[in-house]
Structure 1
């Protein structure tokens, strides 16, 4: 299994919905094709909303979504268009 490394990291812990989704999409829009962004979000509402917000845009794909011991979630998102 190949290790996937992010080109950039965006920490959105403590940022409420919907600002976290908007900030994630703005950051992704500034990235190039095939680049990967690691996004760190809180558990609960952000975990439910941010990944679905990103997946609703055909330019991006959530590759992984993993929960860490501090209850944060880390998404790896690839720019596909």
Structure 2
């Protein structure tokens, strides 16, 4: 995947922790190094725990934002 192509998006709204991290992790494992996964979720616990879990697995958190109860994370494989 070229750097200019769009990131992979995964909408996890309605999915509770830890299942949202499990789904994100499966998707990350299918991606090539350097690709970016954009997550959308509405679980505050997942928004807090996913960045920690991702970094522990060696992924890079590029962005973590919250707006109106919806959280957006950008994770680099």
Tell me the TM-score range normalised by the shorter chain: 0.7 to 0.9
After superposition, the C-alpha distances for 1:35-70 in whole angstroms (9 at most, x for unaligned) are 111011124211111111111101x1111001123x
Q: Would you tell me which structure has more helix in proportion to its own residues?
A: 2
Q: Retained in 2: the 8 A contact 1:9–1:37?
A: yes
In structure 2, stretches of 5+ residues that fail to align are none
* Root mean square deviation, CA, Å: 1.7
Q: TM-score, normalised on structure 1?
A: 0.81
Alignment map for 1:50-61 (pairs within 5 Å): 50-58=50-58, 60-61=59-60
- Unaligned 5+ segments in structure 1 are none
Aligned length: 74
Runs of 4 or more off by more than 6 Å in structure 1?
Answer: none
1:8-57 CA deviation, whole Å, 9 max, x = no partner?
A: 10011110111001100100000001111101112421111111111110
Provide TM-score, normalisation by structure 2. Answer: 0.85
